[in-house]
């Protein structure tokens, strides 16, 4: 079953704790992305990676960190420095970076921090 998976679907954390969201793809895509989705707003780019061991900040990277040690995996850590972490997080991948190729999205992780 090819595609992009995210886990867990729902995640609850206490304020002040770091939390890591998983994203895995078996599409052999070079590029991977993390987005945040809030009600009434468009998706906002947190980080993206064009190739293994390389990643770039998006529009709202503060309070987040990522790694890309393997082509298939692009985990996102939401740190305690993120002031408003409760949101729906979407991971995506595309064959190549640059946006010319279709992005495939995972099912998302809903993070609630109290």
Q: Do residues 40 and 18 touch, judged by C-beta distance below 8 A? A: no
107 lies in the site for other proteins, by CB under 8 A: yes
105 lies in the site for other proteins, by CB under 8 A: yes
Q: Which of 45, 60, 61, 95 binds other proteins (CB under 8 A)?
A: 45
By beta-carbon proximity to other proteins, the closer residue of 79 and 101 is 101
For residues 76 and 71, give the distance between their C-alpha atoms in angstroms, rounded to a whole number: 14
3-state secondary structure 7-69: ECCEEEECCCCCEEEEEEECCCCCEEEEEEECCCCCCEEEEEEEECCEEEECCCCCCEEECCC
By beta-carbon proximity to other proteins, the closer residue of 61 and 105 is 105
Stretch that binds other proteins, among 11-19, 60-68, 69-77, 99-107 (CB under 8 A): 99-107
Q: Which of 1, 15, 84, 100 binds other proteins (CB under 8 A)?
A: 100
Backbone dihedral angles phi then psi of residue 43, each to the nearest 5 degrees: -60, 140
**Residue 105: which of 53, 35, 39, 7 has the closest Cα?**
35
By beta-carbon proximity to other proteins, the closer residue of 7 and 18 is 7
User: Which residues bind to other proteins, rule: CB under 8 A?
Assistant: 4, 6, 40-45, 88, 90, 92, 99-100, 102-108, 110
């Amino acid at each position: 079953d090819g595609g992009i998976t995210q886990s867990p679907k729902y995640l609850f954390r206490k304020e002040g704790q770091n939390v890591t969201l998983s994203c895995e793809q078996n599409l052999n895509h070079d590029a991977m992305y993390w987005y945040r989705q809030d009600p009434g707003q468009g998706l906002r780019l947190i980080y993206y990676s064009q190739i293994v061991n390389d990643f770039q900040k998006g529009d709202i990277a503060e309070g987040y960190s990522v790694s890309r040690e393997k082509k298939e995996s692009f985990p996102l850590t939401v740190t305690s420095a993120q002031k408003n972490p409760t949101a729906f997080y979407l991971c995506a991948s595309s064959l190549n970076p640059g946006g010319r190729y279709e992005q495939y999205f995972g099912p998302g992780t809903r993070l609630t921090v109290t």
